[in-house]
Amino acid sequence: MRVLGLDPGSVVLGYGLVEDGKQVGLVHSGVIKASARLPVEQRLAILFDGICKVIETYSPDEVAIEEPFAGVNVRSAFMIGRAQALGMLAAARCGLPIAYYSPTAVKRQVSGYGMGDKEQVRAMVCLELNTRDLPPENDATDALAVALCHLHQLRANKLLARTKR
């Protein structure tokens, strides 16, 4: 099972691919960037093309997308929602199943604490993927955390299904 995790942003969009085999492994991660100086529609086109290229190159089985966190800045959440829609469209276009996770759920699944900071999440992602070689951008690490969260959820669902038999 190969999962593509997306951390949506309207200027920088993080992506991370993990694969579940005997162990969970890092496939690839990075960011797709669009200049903040471009009109929003051009930025979104660049980000969409980038997501499509990642899907085409790495052939994920499923996509997991972090939901926007509204917090105080509603305008920012609205822009992130647009970027989230790009991931949804790219995955749907390829017939890939999509799962959505709140930032708190991702942190809880990956670090055991829903209010963990970026450094705590990064440390746990490195530990679980048995690597120290992650891109420096938090967006890529966050995307890997989203993908790992989805794998954890898939495993939990399988265990629950076994107990119901």
Q: Strands 62-66, 98-101: parallel, antiparallel or unpaired by DSSP? A: parallel
The rounded distance, in Å, linking the Cα atoms of 148 and 126 is 11
Note the pLDDT tens digit of each residue in 7-66.
999 899 999 999 998 889 999 999 999 999 999 999 999 999 999 999 999 999 999 999
Q: Are 87 and 62 in contact (CB under 8 A)?
A: no
Phi, psi at 30, each rounded to 5°? 175, -165
pTM above 0.85, yes or no: yes
- Domains of the chain plus CATH, in order, are 2-163 (3.30.420.10)
Question: Which backbone phi and psi does 24 adopt, to 5 degrees?
Answer: -80, 130
Q: Which residues form the catalytic set? A: 7, 66, 139
| Residue 118: count of CB within 10 angstroms of its CB | 12
Instruction: Report the candidate in 156, 158, 160, 143 with the shortest Cα–Cα distance to residue 7.
Output: 143
96-137 pLDDT, tens digit per residue, is: 999 999 999 999 988 877 677 888 889 999 999 989 888 888
